[in-house]
């Protein structure tokens, strides 16, 4: 049987590592210039999703309202107008470095959204070569991680995240609902600094979930936790 690593650190992308608000701001400015006919609609859709506590998939919205050539031109303009640092939230680089700092640890980005869109965000922020990525079809990361757990309690990672077994899993995410169904042998870190849903309340959890403001706070918490 494959030897286990000690821990896998799952890290969310949007509003945890990636500055989703910055992407929206730059995109709205580009849309207003390139495609003013849909600019107001884009803002309305974003506001509606924020109010509902759901995700606004801006790339999907633009694909639905632009021709293929118009969308391609928008992506080109977006890349020309920005640098990777524009999309990295405070502590993102340090959090990734920490996750990779010990040989008995492994890590990856576990993100809700269309894989091609999330991969584009990874590219914009310069994360593609730093960590593997798994796209999910639900923000309920606890259920996703629970599906990895084996009868002996260990977790078998998906091939997208490197495969193999780990003994424990940690999860950094900005959405309170991500942790509701965390299985045993998991620790959550709710990073609420840029969350748009944490203000609606934090539910009771069956597994330990630390509530922190920034990724620097997450590092401090996990350094103590994983040293024990």
Helices (H), the chain: 20-34, 39-52, 58-65, 68-81, 92-99, 115-125, 141-146, 215-227
Nearest to 105 by CA among 25, 37, 170, 53: 170
Q: What is the CA radius of gyration of the chain?
A: 18
167-200 pLDDT per residue, tens: 999 999 999 999 999 999 999 999 998 877 777 7
Helix (H) or strand (E) holding 127: none
Task: Specify the pLDDT at position 58.
Answer: 85
**What letters, b where the CB count within 10 A reaches 16 and e where it falls short, cover 119-133?**
bbbbebbebeebbbb
How far is Cα 149 from Cα 20, in angstroms, rounded to an integer? 31
Cα-Cα-Cα-Cα torsion 183, 206, 139, 104, nearest 10 degrees, comes to: -50
Q: Supply φ then ψ for residue 129, to 5 degrees.
A: -90, 5
- pLDDT value at position 224? 96
Q: pLDDT (tens digit, 0 to 9) for every residue of the chain, 228 residues total?
A: 345 579 999 999 999 999 998 998 898 889 888 888 887 887 788 778 767 666 677 888 889 999 999 999 999 999 999 999 999 999 999 999 999 999 999 999 999 998 999 999 999 999 999 999 999 999 999 999 999 999 999 999 999 999 999 999 999 999 999 999 999 999 999 999 887 777 778 888 999 999 999 999 999 999 999 987
Distance CA 119, CA 114 (A): 9
Query: Tokens 């949007």 appear where?
Result: 14
| Neighbouring residues of 200: CB distance < 8 A, sequence distance ≥ 6 | 53, 176
Residue 201: its pLDDT value, please?
82
CATH class of 5-18+88-227: alpha beta
The per-residue pLDDT for 151 is 97
Global confidence as pTM: 0.91
Please give the backbone phi and psi of residue 70, each rounded to the nearest 5 degrees, phi first.
-65, -40
């Amino acid at each position: 049987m494959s030897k286990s690593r000690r821990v896998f650190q799952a890290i969310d992308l949007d509003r945890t590592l990636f500055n989703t608000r910055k992407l929206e701001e730059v995109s709205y400015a580009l849309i207003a210039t390139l495609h003013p006919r849909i600019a107001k609609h884009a803002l309305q859709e974003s506001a509606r999703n924020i109010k509902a506590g759901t995700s606004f998939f801006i790339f999907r919205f633009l694909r639905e309202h632009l021709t293929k050539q118009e969308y391609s031109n928008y992506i080109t303009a977006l890349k020309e107008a920005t640098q990777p640092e524009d999309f990295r939230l405070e502590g993102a680089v340090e959090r990734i470095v920490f996750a990779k700092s010990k040989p008995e640890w492994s890590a990856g980005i576990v993100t809700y959204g269309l894989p091609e869109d999330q991969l584009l965000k990874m590219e914009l922020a310069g994360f593609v070569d730093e960590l593997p990525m798994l796209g999910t079809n639900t923000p309920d990361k606890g259920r996703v991680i629970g599906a990895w757990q084996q009868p002996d309690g260990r977790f078998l990672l998906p091939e997208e995240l490197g495969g193999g077994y780990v003994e424990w899993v940690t999860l950094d995410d900005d959405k309170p609902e991500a942790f509701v169904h965390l299985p045993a042998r998991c620790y959550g870190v709710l990073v609420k600094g840029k969350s748009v849903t944490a203000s609606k309340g934090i539910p009771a959890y069956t597994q330990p979930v630390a509530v922190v403001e920034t990724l620097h706070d997450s590092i401090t918490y996990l350094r103590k936790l994983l040293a024990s």
